[in-house]
Structure 1
Amino acid sequence: MEQQQLKRCPIGVQTFEKVIEGNYLYIDKTKYIYRMAYGASNYYFLSRPRRFGKSLLVSTLHSYFAGKKELFKGLAIEKLENEWTEYPVLHFDMSRAKHVDKETLESMLNFQLSGYEQIYGRPKEAVKLNDRMTSLIMRACEQTGRQVVVLIDEYDAPLLDVMHEEENLPVLRNVMRNFYSPLKSCDPYLRFVFLTGITKFSQLSIFSELNN
């Protein structure tokens, strides 16, 4: 009898597409993704320790909402999902903003926004980060005719190193609070919002409207 070859563990691999195409071992969690996608709420927050698999989950959500049906062949969601609608997905990775000051943080956020603004455009009057985020969400929805999916990985990464610093924490927290503020005001344009992090919302006081 031919011995079945064991699949490789995806050590250090955090991209769902790479896991599937590389034929790595994948523990199927897609039925839970389907439940979230069609759940009572459009807003989800996952607080878990480092190395818990949060980034891979975010990447899986990205592939799902981008309508990449071919990646989910043989997984539970293949039998559950019938539509496979392609939504505009805005995926922000905040882990790039560790050990930063205000100027560096704003530069990093500017870089991530600019990538999507090249696709959907940016009005001249949108200068501040929160205005640019608002405009981006609205334009993506209007241009595609579909609500927008926003995925934010490690939302609290820029603040973890300054949590006990009375001088720097308020400054960086204000930058992040302004950046995230459109997630509430743009609710009519949003199909799904998912955030991951290590700390709870209440610990950093960034999301006054989303705390509940």
Structure 2
Amino acid sequence: MKNRKYPLGIQTFENIIKGQYVYVDKTALAYELANENKYCFLSRPRRFGKSLLVTTLQAYFEGRKELFGGLAMEKLETEWNEHPVIHLDISKGKFYDLTSLHATLNSMLAEYETKYSLNAEFSKAYNVRLQNIIEAAYAQTGKEVVVLIDEYDAPMHDSMKDKELQCQIRNIMRNFISPLKGEEKYLRFVFLTGISKFSQLSIFSELNNITNISMQDKYSAICGVSENELLSLFKDDIRDLAENNDMTYDEALAELKHHYDGYHFSGNGEDIYNPYSLFCTLDSNDFGDYWFSTGTPTFLIELLQEKHLDMLDLDDIIATADRFDTPTENITDPVPVLYQSGYLTIKGYNRKSKIFKLGFPNSEVKQGFSNSLFRYYAPDNMGDKDAEE
């Protein structure tokens, strides 16, 4: 079974397809997303496949039919029109000061200014430069432009501990994306991803025509691996995992479910496994806390401490939909941040009252937070806390 290659650390659709890595076909949902909407936003936790979805959409809009052989998209799309695509990955930088933000935005815009024979005038405001790029792409190709912005909220998360810096960054990002609404006549599709919902960061005040698909049932499985996908595509992998751990197939499946299942991104959406942890386990034949160990929840632990909440007692939270829309610049409730970051998930939903029940998705997250809390608070481990920060 180990001739199958799992896309660990590989987030680009083209590289996964050309490298013949395991790919769970999400192209039917990508097609629906691209053809039923014009302005969209998707919130998902880190390492859940947002960047893979963005690059899948990029390949689709660039008309790269050859990459979709054997996938649902091949049958769904009949025209394969090619559009100019502006793909801006904000996660390329670390944003602990304004210099880093300016350098990242300048570099990304300069790349497209060069592509469309524009002068990279760094003295101009970012919104003007983005507007010029969109209009030049449209004028030179005669085709409507696609704008894909991945991890748009990375600068705000990196600056969370410095309120003054975050305010400055928020204003810069608001200015940066402001042309997207005004340039509508030149645009075919606009898609933004991030961890936090757009309403929380208050940078979309001008972009009020965007549809937030994050909690829509039909897109609940657009990222991650659904239970149906696991059972239909990975039976041999699970058998291999079971054999290497002296388990039966059913025991291995139950252990996967216990460790990595349990994510729900809408009231009545599909049951989702953490794709990163799942692939790491199938690749190594070893159960571990893979997703949790790749990120540091220090800012969340500090937030819980500030609000006098016990993380290990957050397994039965009741929330209405509007609880997820509190402004990030004035956090009084850590629950929305915990949910959007993947540390809590929807465990139940009453459609009539529109009330959600939240809790830990699985043992990986609950145990990971327990270990992090111990390291954070234990006096003999203060060096670990400093290292995390």
TM-score (norm 2): 0.51
1:180-199 pair list within 5 angstroms: 180-199=177-196
* Distance in structure 2 (CA, Å) of the matches to 1:201 and 1:26: 29
* Distance in structure 2 (CA, Å) of the matches to 1:7 and 1:164: 42
Q: Which residue pairs with 2:100 in the alignment? A: 104
Q: Which residue pairs with 2:175 in the alignment? A: 178
TM superposition shift of 1:28:
0.5
* Distance in structure 2 (CA, Å) of the matches to 1:5 and 1:198: 33
- Percent same amino acid among aligned pairs? 57
Q: How many residues align?
A: 208
* Distance in structure 2 (CA, Å) of the matches to 1:97 and 1:159: 12
Do the aligned residues in 1 keep the contact of 2:85 with 2:147 (CA within 8 Å)?
A: yes
Which amino acid in the other structure matches residue 59 of structure 1? Answer: T
TM superposition shift of 1:196:
0.5
Which of 58, 69, 74 is the equivalent residue of 2:65?
A: 69
Q: Does residue 1:157 correspond to 2:146, yes or no?
A: no
TM superposition shift of 1:38:
1.3
Gaps of 5+ in 1: none
Q: Which residue pairs with 1:13 in the alignment? A: 10
Do the aligned residues in 1 keep the contact of 2:43 with 2:196 (CA within 8 Å)?
A: yes
TM superposition shift of 1:164:
4.6
* Distance in structure 2 (CA, Å) of the matches to 1:14 and 1:6: 20
1:1-212 pair list within 5 angstroms: 7-39=4-36, 41-122=37-118, 127-211=124-208
Deviation string, structure 1 residues 108-142 (Cα, Å, up to 9, x no partner) = 10110111111112268882111000000011011
* Distance in structure 2 (CA, Å) of the matches to 1:167 and 1:24: 44
Which amino acid in the other structure matches residue 105 of structure 2? Answer: L
Report the aligned-residue RMSD. Answer: 1.7
TM superposition shift of 1:6:
5.2
Do the aligned residues in 2 keep the contact of 1:102 with 1:175 (CA within 8 Å)?
A: no
Which amino acid in the other structure matches residue 71 of structure 1? Answer: L
Larger Rg belongs to: 2
* Distance in structure 1 (CA, Å) of the matches to 2:61 and 2:51: 15
TM superposition shift of 1:91:
0.3
Do the aligned residues in 2 keep the contact of 1:34 with 1:80 (CA within 8 Å)?
A: yes
Deviation string, structure 1 residues 81-116 (Cα, Å, up to 9, x no partner) = 011111000000100222331122112101101111
**What secondary structure does 1:151 align onto?**
strand
TM superposition shift of 1:5:
7.5
TM superposition shift of 1:161:
2.2
Which amino acid in the other structure matches residue 47 of structure 1? Answer: S
Deviation string, structure 1 residues 130-183 (Cα, Å, up to 9, x no partner) = 100000001101110000000011000011022353211111111111111011
Q: Which runs of 4+ in 1 moved over 6 A?
A: none
Q: Which residue pairs with 2:312 in the alignment? A: none
Gaps of 5+ in 2: 210-389
Higher relative contact order at CA 8 Å, sep ≥6: structure 1 or structure 2?
1
Which amino acid in the other structure matches residue 110 of structure 2? Answer: S
* Distance in structure 2 (CA, Å) of the matches to 1:130 and 1:113: 10
Do the aligned residues in 2 keep the contact of 1:122 with 1:132 (CA within 8 Å)?
A: no
* Distance in structure 2 (CA, Å) of the matches to 1:170 and 1:77: 41
Do the aligned residues in 1 keep the contact of 2:94 with 2:100 (CA within 8 Å)?
A: no
TM-score (norm 1): 0.92
